[in-house]
Structure 1
Amino acid sequence: MAVVQDKITLVGNRHSRRVQGFVAAAARGGCAVNVVPYVDAISGRCPPPTEGVVRLDSPGEDADAYRAILRAGIAPLRMASGEPLDQDGIERLELARGAIVRPRQWFFGFREILHQLAVDWNDPRIRWMSTPAAVSTAFDKLACLERWSQLPTPRRIPQVWSYAELREAVKQRHARLFLKLRYGYAAMGAVALEWRDGNIRAITTVETCVSGATSQLYVSKRPQVLRREAEIAWLVDRLAAEELVVEEWLPKARWLGRPFDVRAVVIGGEVQHVVGRANASPFTNLNLDAVRISRDDLMHHLGGRWPEMTELCAAAARELPDAGMLGIDVLVRPGGKQFALLEANAFGDYLPGLLHQGLSTWDAEVRWLRGRKELAA
């Protein structure tokens, strides 16, 4: 099958490793890629594509794109009765690596930009690898969980906006809760919280740096342990202002003594790359130096439950049918006999070095795209 060149338009940061990885895979597959930076897509400086596939990639690792997305979030956040950072404040931001900066405003801006791209890039001859609406939904943890209402997920606590509201909502003497930013990613703003009578402990990926009268939150690879309730309440209040998803903190199965979960990459509705993630802390994200567990080891560990786990991932992806690729995270209960969906990731294919049937995630995506009519000569 011959492949027509220049048929893939990729919106992303051309200097990021994930974009470079996909471009290299496309070249191996005989496809050329036109990379459009987010700032150009937002400003309209580049003409809309008129044919082929459009791939939306992560806007990460680009400070100019981050600021542009925050600016786009000012009006929609204000419409939602939020208090956005204004234009001047955005320009003064120091976007240090790992800083947690206005994730709710960022999401509102990103959703607005994706919606506008869907309106402006409307030639009937183009096809989205994942539609803008699907990417927006995958970025919204609560929206995903609502799509998965008929699938197994951790029990969820109704939305709270403060630590006081959380304690009012959960009155049990002993509780284990997992708090995540609704619009976070890569373990940003995650808190594993437990209290028993008067004892309380929070394990979190958040590190707080104080300078004078101001404080800045960062993602830390080394989990922080907090034991003073006032300190925990302050952190929960800060995170709740950006919207939280609060779930039951379920125990995980263990691999060599460490709790683990599973990331499955679903491409075109088919579960392909699968990797286990084990860590000594409650947070198993690979960017936090979790240990990879191979597909073969996972299959051996889960035994006859393996097909059930992969079918659950496929079922989760079917609830977002316009997403050509999704990373699906699955919790494995102790004993390996029960599973719970945790979240979806629109950009969940960044697994360098992981092969399935001899292909990287990006190679597998190119193979899938080559089978689509718009890439075939």
Structure 2
Amino acid sequence: GAWVDRLRRRPIMIAADLGRALLLALIPIAAFTHTLRIEHLYVVGFLAGILNVLFEVAYSAYLPTLVARDRLVEGNSKLQASASVAEIAGPGLGGVLVQLVSAPLAIAVDAFSFLGSALSLAWIRKPEPGLLPERESRSLLPEIREGLRLVFGNPILRAFTFTSAIANFFIDVHLAVFVLFATRDLRLTPVILGGMYAIASLGGFLGSVMAARLVGWLGLGRAIIAGHLQVILALLIIPLSGRQVELALPLIVFSMAMWGFGAVVYVINSVSVRQAITPNEYQGRVAASLRFVSWGISPLGFMLGGILGEILGLRTTLLAAGAGSLASLIFLLFSPVWQLRGQPVG
């Protein structure tokens, strides 16, 4: 985050795209020269993960320099809609490519997709705001502390941080056992399971289309809380769906669609608020700090999910995850978020 705030965001994203294209291209090259080893995949995955984080932080920090504050929800909605389409079409296309041309060539196609992304970013002509020259001589540590201080000092950003951290923790408890629950307890086939995830992505696409309208109907803060509440309800409905597949399957499919819809509504609107109230020179650090706190807890959630699944059983663990996620609502309800009608002034 500190590096993103020191540099222009668009060149960072282009460099990250080119780096990921190069890393992915190494896999088919090594495969066709018969030198590919599992260690190569580990290294490529690790380095690509670093570039993913750089891209995502710069991506989030870049949008407020392109659009006005009152159009952030619209901008984030369009970006999320394109991401939802990719989530719907991507896995299916990847499977077809693996079937038709082999896995290494499928990865080569993926590498070219990053080149397409870099080219699209290069076409953007709107200049970014100037950087603050006095920051170039400062060390990174004080700047990182400034970003964390802003996140935890602002009541709205603090509410988003704790809400996302607690929700993600219990979502990961859920995810740790859900596939086993679906395949062992309900005996769902991989095809049905994949279709359920596709329906969740369709719900996300609908959420991206409806996010701005919900703000108009409910107000910004209540739209954020409504979206988050839908995710919690989905987490609760899934383990309460019953043991008969004929009844459980429609309920779970509905829950997955509601989950996708609510999650996207929450993300679009909460990110738009964060971008609106954060000064441009702090956008990268605030985005990275939120990501670090809310996603850094994920390994603990997966670990707890596995342990509870062994001790309590799969369905009980899913129910505990849903019940625990209710705690994440507290930080939204007892914060200024509830009172937001439109975009706040930074």
TM-score, normalised via structure 1 length? 0.23
More strand by share: 1
TM-score, normalised via structure 2 length? 0.24
More helix by share: 2
